[in-house]
Amino acid sequence: SKSTTVNALEQENGVLKQERVKFRSYESFKDSFDDYVAFIKNNARYEKVVQKAGNATEYLTELQKAGFATDQHYADKILGIFHSKSFNTLINKALNNIP
C-alpha cells in the first residue's frame, strides 16, 4: 500500500517529541476506513477493542490500552471530538443528505 512520511508528535514516557513517522495513504476515505477496519479486526492485539465496538467510550479506551496511539490521552481527545456540537452537527447534516 502507499504511504507518506510526516512530522508527528509522539509521546514516550509522558514526554512529547517530534519524529518522522510513516503513515499509510489512500485514494479515498472509503479505502482508508476499510483498511482501518481490516487492521483492527485481523490483529490479535486489538481483540478486546473489537469486542467493544458497540460502545464508543469502551472501544476508544481499549484502543488506547492496546497501544494504538502513543498519546496517553488519546481516548479522551477522540471522545471530546465525538461528543462535540460541531461533530454532531456535521453528522446530522450528512445523515440528512443520504438518499
Say which of 10, 19, 34, 47 is annotated catalytic. 10
**Rounded Cα–Cα distance for residues 10 and 69 (Å):** 8
- 35 is known as an active-site residue: yes
**pTM of structure:** 0.77
What's the rounded mean pLDDT across residues 6-13?
86
Confidence of residue 15 (pLDDT cuts 50, 70, 90): confident
Is 10 one of the annotated active-site residues of the chain?
yes
- Please answer whether residues 13 and 4 qualify as being in contact, where contact means their C-beta atoms are separated by less than 8 angstroms: no
- Cβ within 8 Å of residue 61, ≥6 positions away: 52, 75
pLDDT band at 97 (very low <50, low <70, confident <90, very high): confident
Instruction: List the grid coordinates of 14.
Output: 509522558
| Active-site hit among 12, 19, 31, 35 | 35
Length of the chain: 99
Segment 36-66, tens digit of pLDDT: 999 999 999 999 999 999 999 999 999 999 9
pLDDT confidence of residue 10: 87
Query: Model confidence over 20-42: pLDDT tens digits?
Result: 989 999 999 999 999 999 999 99
Place of cell 510526516: 6
Is residue 22 classed exposed, middle or buried when 0-12, 13-18 and 19+ CB atoms within 10 A define those classes?
A: exposed
